[in-house]
Amino acid sequence: MSAGRNGRRPARTAAATPACGSPKASHATPHAKISASPAPMATTLAHHAEARAERRAGQQDDHRLERERYGRERERNADLRRDDGENGDEEDGVRALRGGQTCVRCNRVEQRATFETLETGIHVPRFYCMRIALTIAGSDSSGGAGIQADLKTFAACGVYGTSAVTAVTAQNSLGITAWEAVPTELVIAQIEAVATDFPPDAVKTGMLATAAIVEATGAAIASLGLPKLVVDPVMIATGGTRLLEEDAVAAMVAELFPQAEVVTPNIPEAALLAGCPVANVEDMRTAARRILALGPRVVVVKGGHLSPGPDVIDVVCMRDRAFDLRAARIDTPHTHGTGCTFASAIAARLALGDAVEDAIRSARTYLEGALRSAPGLGRGRGPLNHFWRVY
């Protein structure tokens, strides 16, 4: 079933299948769910270019009107922020005299008050910048994956989370029963509404559903200059439910990969993107190099889908070097949302200013803790404990 002109599709129903966002663990379904003989990426990209031209011909007037309307709203918001900034100059001076610290970012003052106790016993405010991350992904009604997992991860990492919903899914620990894409124009509106008032320090994408949404997301990220993009190329749920239309794969490669700081495919996704089977660690390295050639600056191929063994190995491939990350496999059925959590943890660490390698290592440590302390909820693949450092 193809998407309509606005990227909307009817809700899909299916027998309960393992839900999206749980593709990284020892109990994952083998990658036979994805075609073992994918078309060469060059051919796929050529077909995507033709399909994109047809879609854009029908959408041109609508998108022009939307851009004009949002442009007017951005100008109005910018005027309001300038007025607020001018009116706040005097207040900022008073805070400075009182010993407060302010942080100016993107022509505005972001402050969050905490309190320090001086030797006199008096509590005085201390101000600092809180970093912002944006997730552009689908909603998971069970709260274990998708934007819900992303926002929990951002909060656990000390980052303020914002979101743009691309699809709504009906799912729980047993699987997905239905999903529907959000209209493309509404996805654009969410991204612009957030970015013009809460400029993100990093962006993470997850389930994007349709080619139209992928293209709109890529265009919005480029036009708004959103930094430090982490792409989790969510394509197919563990049980086989397709979460990304086939023509959207080429759109993702063409529109998002060249802008991406990090791309985080699992084994099935890496096999499809690289156009080669991935059955062992050496295959993972080959796939990572091929995906790197598609445009991203860093590729992390996650090894949770490989045959069960004592260790899980992730392959990290950068422009100038490559290395493996190895850790003991955690024997748990509660793996729902691991892919979303890992990618959003990378985005959160990048937002905080970490170098990309440090961000990846920190994200993996965080994910391992969330897996080890999973609360054991649900009758199937249960969620993680995103706040394991707190409780």
In a domain, 87, yes or no: no
Beta-carbon neighbour count of residue 101 at 10 Å? 12
For position 59, what pLDDT does the model report? Answer: 57
Is residue 337 among the annotated active site residues? yes
Say if 4 falls within a structural domain. no
Per-residue pLDDT of 342-388, as tens digits, reads 999 999 999 999 999 999 999 999 999 999 999 999 999 999 999 99
Does residue 6 sit within a domain? Answer: no
The answer to whether residue 60 sits within a structural domain is no
Q: If you average pLDDT over residues 25-48, what whole number do you get?
A: 51
Its domain, for residue 210, covers: 31-55+130-372
Please say if 340 is a catalytic residue: yes
What CATH number is given to the structural domain containing 236?
3.40.1190.20
Q: Which of 339, 353, 369, 376 is catalytic?
A: 339
The mean predicted confidence, pLDDT, of the chain is 81
pTM, entire model: 0.75
Q: pLDDT band for position 147 (50/70/90)?
A: very high
Q: Give yes or no: 184 in active site.
A: no
Say which of 20, 157, 317, 340 is annotated catalytic.
340
Give residue-wise pLDDT tens across range 270-320: 999 999 999 999 999 999 999 999 999 999 999 988 877 889 999 999 999
pLDDT tens for residues 256-275?
999 999 999 999 999 999 99
If one counts the domains in the chain, the total is 1
Q: Choosing from 166, 196, 335, 341, which is the catalytic residue?
A: 335
Is 302 labeled as catalytic in the residue annotation? yes
180 within domain boundaries: yes
Tens-digit pLDDT profile for residues 92-142 = 443 444 444 444 444 443 444 444 444 444 444 445 679 999 999 999 999
Identified catalytic residue from 218, 302, 303, 382: 302
Catalytic residue among 44, 162, 210, 338: 338
DSSP 326-368: EEEPP--S--BTHHHHHHHHHHHHHHTT--HHHHHHHHHHHHH
